[in-house]
Amino acid sequence: MITFESWNDMQDQIPDFPADSETKGALEVLRWAYDTYGDKLVYACSFGIEGIVLIDLIAQVKPDAEIVFLDTHYHFKETYETIDKVKARYPQLNIRMQQPEMTIEEQAAKFGPDLFATNPNKCCEIRKIIPLQKALAPSTAWISGLRREQSESRANTNYLNLDNRFQKIKVCPLIHWTWKEVWRYVTKHELDYNVLHDQGYPSIGCEPCTKPAFSMDDIRSGRWSGSGKTECGLHTTNP
């Protein structure tokens, strides 16, 4: 089995997934991943549009898969409404709302109000990175909806990746999908999605740190706008 510890010794055992298949390798990657890791594989989902596609594909492979949502308590109400719709459509999925240790009030008492504005990296650490670390602790691998097209920092993402931050294997089935292909799939299968996508939000995170995108050439341009920050830290290769 390819694990974080055995990664360097098992490069020749990484399958050659077909990027030209109907799902650009996504279903093939998911089948292999669940066959390989079983219940030691978890999907960390933000319930954005890529997540909606992945959930539908995962449900075809493992209907009772574990899905973790990092409930920072700063999310849009539309995001929670989307999760409710997904739960209704896929009742067998094990969707878990992972909570941070501190409430917003406890965080404010310790670090001051609106930490997302004064120190967004610390806020992400408390409300996203540490909770995901705990959620992934029992797992060998986790799934992410990263696509190469999303940003420069994601352009070299592979189907299987060594995740040094969480010391896991990170599985990214959608790396070759374009924005148009994601939407084409959602439309074709009439999937429920976050309505904020129709209001200029291609990438949706916590409400205080998410604005409509300035340009569709950079669909993450609305995240942490004006701060110089581009990632929450979950996908940083070397912490």
Residues annotated as catalytic are 232
Nearest-angstrom CA–CA distance, 101 and 238: 24
Token couple for 124 = 């992400």
Helices 49-61 & 77-89, crossing angle to 10 degrees?
20
Name beta bridge partners: 176: none
Q: 185-219 burial string, b = 16+ CB within 10 Å, else e?
A: bbeeeebebbebbeeebbbbbbbebbeebeeeebb
Token couple for 229 = 């920050």
Nearest-angstrom CA–CA distance, 225 and 210: 7
Asked if 212 contacts 200 with a C-beta cutoff of 8 angstroms, the reply is yes
Q: Quick one: which H or E segment has residue 41?
A: strand 41-44
Helix segments in the chain, DSSP class H: 26-37, 49-61, 77-89, 104-111, 115-118, 120-124, 130-136, 179-188
